[in-house]
Structure 1
Amino acid sequence: MRITLVGPAHPYKGGGARHTTELAHRLSARGHNTAIESWHAQYPSLLYPGQQTIADPEAETFTGTRRRLAWYRPDGWWRTGRRLARESDLVVLTLFSPAQIPSYLGILAGLCSRSERARVVALCHNVLPHERRSLDVTLTRAMLRRVDGILTHSPEQANLARGLLRGDHPDPVAATMPPHLPETGGAQEQPSGERRHLLFLGLVRPYKGVDLLLRALAEGAPEDVTLTVAGEFWGGTEELSELAAELGVSDRVRLREGYVPVEELPGLFAGADAAVLPYRSASATQNVWLAHQHGVPVIATRAGTLPDHVREGVDGLLCGPGDAEDLARTLRTFYTPGTPEKLRSGVRPVDPAPYWEAYVRRLLSSA
């Protein structure tokens, strides 16, 4: 089958680009004639004020990658759709943000302008943003009604898409998002014993719950336990810095602002007893598997698919989402004598192969 994935690839950074690229490799390995239609300019800086691209790839790139799409060239969207109608049997539109949808509608218009066109699947990393606007619903509904299949990364997200369609075809399906981790070399060998340090890693936005983590640190963790928050801060660090000062934990919290390159990851994880994911809400994330790849247990909320990847009391602990008090209780539990070492000993790196086999099968059947 001739398959084209439309989505970010290197030099774009992060899990989205890695997922698109790894999916292309997996499809190609199964004998499909695969290509990636990527971006020359994906978002205006107003919509994504952080660092959009990186110099060095985070994993093996895919040779069949074109980088022609630009958010400011609607004529290019339509032409791309016309070309893909000739070149592809299946087109997969990877949806991360409603900001992509105008270009996808242009591609769909180009596809539909030909009498014979490829089938189209919307691969929804997020059906709707965690912090959404009314226009997001309108755009997403318009796109989902024009495709032949919809793949989401959890039953909850499939139900969300189903609600937007209100019974219209197609019926969304769910598949577990498979591991697509950066190539870091894995865990560094470290001496035994506690680090008395916790790590939050990733894009810092309100739904990620870092404010709840600061409150829990103040209320629940022993006074000698510190925290690093590492990643891009949506809107800057001022609000969280003020909260840390108000809670009296400024001297225990390091806000490491900016995208974290791959080479820094092993050191950050090596210095932590646990990675903490205090999310208020979630769809799917790689951060549990990323921590486990580096030998570190995880403290996470029961949001989205997070509890599917944490074995309670074996390689991590779970608590209620949006509940600083329960997170504080979980931090106290984690730092009972012997618990950090016990949970660290239970960590095992994930095997990606079975996840990808099931995922590719589900994707192809959704078309």
Structure 2
Amino acid sequence: MRIAIVGPTYPYKGGGAQHTTELAHRLTAAGHDVVIESWKAQYPSFLYPGQQTIDVPEGEPYPKTRRRLDWRRPDGWVAAGRRLRSADLVVLAVLSPVQVPPYLGILLGTARKVRVVALCHNVLPHERKPWDEPLMKALLNRVDGVLTHSGQQAELARTLTRKPVTTVALPPHLPARSPARGEGIHHRLLFFGIVRPYKGLDLLLRALPEGVSLTVAGEFWGGIEQTRQLIAELGIADRVELRPGYVAADEVPALFARADALVLPYRNATASQNVWLGHEHGVPVIATRVGALADNVRDGVDGLLVEPGDAEALRKAIERFYEDPERLRAGVRAVDPEPFWSDYTGALLRA
């Protein structure tokens, strides 16, 4: 089958780019002829405040990649659609409603001569704008099928379209190498990844017990001054290390090696790689019962689960963790990606 995936890949960074790249590799290994239609300019900087591209790949780049799409060039969107008319399947990787106008331009160019699936990492953003829902309705009602990564996201998609919606778990796209694993108890926790309000860093700061330190590593999408102010108000500046900015792949193992646990205090979530990332580095995960986080943490075996939005419950979970941290560390196992990818590619092709 000739398949075109439209989405970010190297030199773009992050989970969306890693997923697009790994999906192309997996479909190619299954015998399909795959091309990635990617971006030379994906978002205006005022809509994506973080670092967009990187110099060193986060995985093996996919060779058959065309980087021609530009958010400033609608003519290029339509031209991409014309190029894709020879494909048997076009997969639109949807990470944000900001992508909808280019994707509608691509659909205009295909002239409905090819089947199209919208692969929705998020059906709607965690922090929504008034135009998000109308944009997503416009896109989802013009494709042939929708793929989501959780039942909750599937239900949301069905409120926006009557097109078929398929659900399958997001598969792991993790570093191929075996990372270094930490030894001993450091009395230090890790919050890792882009910092946004829905991820609940403020709850974790309020929950941090005496004698426990915290490293916060990742890009702040606004709110860093409020975070510093909260740290000062709580009197924990001597125990909180802020490392704002993109964390390069070769710096990640050292971060996890000095942490006793990864904490994911999200208020809400869809799917996330971070539980698997923590386990890949031999680190237990303390997470809230939201989205797919709860599906990937075995409560009391390789991590602990708490209800979202409750700083006191989170504090008690951290204290419970430190009663016997080695027990949970012993329960951590790296995930086997193969069954997840087999299910995922099969579901995508059926969608």
- Report if aligned partners of 2:200, 2:265 keep a CA contact under 8 Å in 1: yes
- Number of residue pairs the alignment of both structures matches: 351
1:14-58: per-residue Cα shift (whole Å, max 9, x none)?
A: 111110000001100111110000000000001011100000101
Q: Distance in 1 between matches of 2:212 and 2:312?
A: 17
Q: Distance in 2 between matches of 1:357 and 1:234?
A: 34
Question: 1:297 Cα deviation (Å)?
Answer: 0.4
**Residue 285 (structure 1) aligned to one of 258, 261, 272:** 272
1:207-229: per-residue Cα shift (whole Å, max 9, x none)?
A: 00000000111xxx2x2210001
Unaligned runs of 5+ in 2: none
Q: Distance in 2 between matches of 1:9 and 1:240?
A: 31
Unaligned runs of 5+ in 1: none
Residue 333 of structure 2 corresponds to residue 348 of structure 1: yes
Q: Distance in 2 between matches of 1:195 and 1:353?
A: 33
* Amino acid paired to 1:186: S
* Amino acid paired to 1:209: G
Question: 1:295 Cα deviation (Å)?
Answer: 0.4
* Amino acid paired to 2:76: G
- Report if aligned partners of 2:182, 2:259 keep a CA contact under 8 Å in 1: no
* Amino acid paired to 1:348: R
Partner SS for 2:37: strand
Name the residue aligned to 1:307.
294
Name the residue aligned to 1:42.
42
**Residue 119 (structure 2) aligned to one of 103, 117, 123:** 123
Residue 106 of structure 2 corresponds to residue 107 of structure 1: yes
Name the residue aligned to 1:240.
227
- Report if aligned partners of 2:215, 2:243 keep a CA contact under 8 Å in 1: yes
1:272-327: per-residue Cα shift (whole Å, max 9, x none)?
A: 00000000000000000001000000000001000100001110000001111111
Q: Distance in 2 between matches of 1:323 and 1:142?
A: 37
Question: 1:234 Cα deviation (Å)?
Answer: 0.7
Q: Structure 1 residue runs of 4+, over 3 Å off?
A: none
* Amino acid paired to 2:173: H
Question: 1:69 Cα deviation (Å)?
Answer: 0.2
Residue 170 of structure 2 corresponds to residue 177 of structure 1: yes
Name the residue aligned to 2:32.
32
Map 1:1-367; keep pairs closer than 5 Å: 1-85=1-85, 87-112=86-111, 117-165=113-161, 168=162, 170-183=163-176, 185-191=177-183, 193-217=184-208, 221=209, 223-336=210-323, 339-366=324-351
Partner SS for 1:322: coil
Question: 1:186 Cα deviation (Å)?
Answer: 2.8
Q: Distance in 1 between matches of 2:143 and 2:270?
A: 21
- Report if aligned partners of 1:237, 1:255 keep a CA contact under 8 Å in 2: no
Question: 1:189 Cα deviation (Å)?
Answer: 4.4
Q: Distance in 2 between matches of 1:68 and 1:19?
A: 19
Question: 1:251 Cα deviation (Å)?
Answer: 1.1
Question: 1:133 Cα deviation (Å)?
Answer: 1.3
Q: Distance in 2 between matches of 1:195 and 1:150?
A: 45
Question: 1:148 Cα deviation (Å)?
Answer: 0.1
Partner SS for 1:260: coil
Partner SS for 1:55: coil
Q: Distance in 2 between matches of 1:311 and 1:294?
A: 16
Partner SS for 1:110: helix
Partner SS for 2:131: helix
Question: 1:247 Cα deviation (Å)?
Answer: 1.1
* Amino acid paired to 1:40: K
Partner SS for 1:151: strand
Q: Distance in 1 between matches of 2:325 and 2:179?
A: 16
TM-score by length of 2: 0.98
Partner SS for 1:229: strand
Q: Distance in 2 between matches of 1:147 and 1:38?
A: 19
Q: Distance in 1 between matches of 2:213 and 2:182?
A: 19
Q: Distance in 2 between matches of 1:237 and 1:133?
A: 21
- Report if aligned partners of 1:18, 1:182 keep a CA contact under 8 Å in 2: no
Question: 1:171 Cα deviation (Å)?
Answer: 2.2
Q: Distance in 2 between matches of 1:141 and 1:365?
A: 22
Q: Distance in 1 between matches of 2:146 and 2:174?
A: 24
